[in-house]
Amino acid sequence: MKLVLATLNSGKIAEFRQILMDKSFVNVRSLLDYPTIPGIIESRRTFAGNAIKKAVEVSKHINAVTIADDSGLEIDALDGEPGVLSARYAGENSTPGQLITKVLKRLEKTPDVERTARFRCAIALVIPSCEETVIEVVEGVCEGKVTLNKRGEHGFGYDPIFVPLGYNQTFAELGSEIKNKISHRAKALGMIMKLILS
């Protein structure tokens, strides 16, 4: 089965592929394999809205099962920011370093006990059909907290400053093997695969 990931984000692509590694019947593709598909602006106000928009738009160009995710970090002390703006929190084309610096700066007077946060991931599934296009959306959440400083070299995005609940290390310290079992994206993708296979 061909499964197209509606993303150009190399970190997400690698993560999806690793999570799906035991599904040998799934031929994972991404937008890197379809360079003629135009870029999609994430203009919706929710993770689910952005995920649906991306999956639907990409599925119009290819006749294959398509999934798209939108995910981000929600920090309680910042009233849920950066949220859907996670990738652009420090401006358009922000680097991971700039994003992390902005978050830590905004939290510099926030005590450890109040640095609770979560990663949230919405994944939309589009299954094209000659009768009716099927659209499903699921959501995965990973609770945790934001650290006082950057720690670890693995992962991408906000991984170096997020410690998942029940652990003492950041996602960037834990590495992909553990992260891809407990993360927001792993939980959501597990639900999506159940829908695909049902």
To the query of whether residue 70 is one of the catalytic residues in this protein, the response is yes
Considering the candidates 70, 76, 112, 159, report the single residue annotated as catalytic.
70
Return d(Cα 196, Cα 136) in angstroms, integer: 10
DSSP strands (E only) in 19-171? 27-30, 65-75, 116-127, 134-146, 162-164
**How far apart, in whole angstroms, are the C-alpha atoms of residue 163 and residue 185?**
15
β 162-164/134-146 pair status: antiparallel
Structure tokens at 82: 């950066």
C-alpha 61/C-alpha 63 separation (Å) is 7
Look at residues 183, 151, 185, 153 and name the one whose alpha carbon lies nearest to residue 170.
151
Beta bridge partners of 29: 4
Q: Which residues are catalytic?
A: 70
